[in-house]
Amino acid sequence: MDADRGDRLLTALAALAIRAVTADAVASGKPSTPETLHAIPLSAVAEAATSRADYEFLAGTADHVAADDPVEDAVRVIRLLSCGSREQGPRWMFCISRELHRALVILIDRSPRPAPQCGALSRWSDTADPNAYD
């Protein structure tokens, strides 16, 4: 697997994990708003990456996606890996989810704030500065 495809798989799995954790927050009574999404701790997403079953990430996702979108292609690959009956699919999903967990833990450890939240991700990516928290 080349680096670009691996990055897309990690990005897609991160988005699915964030979506699953946000759905849990909404189900527990929080409003379905961008503020709820931004307030999700990255530690909760890291935990979800390794503690949830693969199918939990895909619950509620669209069955039909745009054929030419690389991120949607990554979601299709994740769907195939998680639903595959062969031994390789679960092994790949285990490796990808562990890699996502590791990447998030590194971000958390390097954060200038003690408990970074999902909202910090977009600010960090917009500025390429991990100190751009507020």
pLDDT at 134: 46
CA–centroid distance for 99 within its chain? 11
- Domain range annotation of the chain: 3-127
Other CB atoms within 10 A of residue 12 CB: 23
Q: What is the pLDDT of residues 13-49, one digit of tens each?
A: 888 888 889 989 999 999 999 999 999 999 999 999 8
Q: Which amino acid is located at 107 in the chain?
A: L
**Whole-prediction pTM:** 0.76
What confidence score (pLDDT) does residue 96 get? 83
Angle in degrees, CA 34, 63, 58, rounded to 5: 55
Output the furthest CA–CA distance in the chain (Å, rounded).
Answer: 46
Residue by residue, what is the 3-state secondary structure of the chain?
Answer: CCHHHHHHHHHHHHHHHHHHHHHHHHHCCCCCCHHHHHCCEHHHHHHHHHHCCHHHHHCCCCCCCCCCCHHHHHHHHHHHHHHCCCCHHHHHHHHHHHHHHHHHHHHHHHCCCCCCEHHHHHHHHHHCCCCCCC
Around Cβ 90, how many Cβ atoms within 10 Å?
Answer: 14
- 41 pairs with which residues across the strands? 117
Can you list the residues of the chain whose pLDDT is less than 50?
A: 133-134
* CB-side neighbour CA atoms (13 Å) of 49: 25
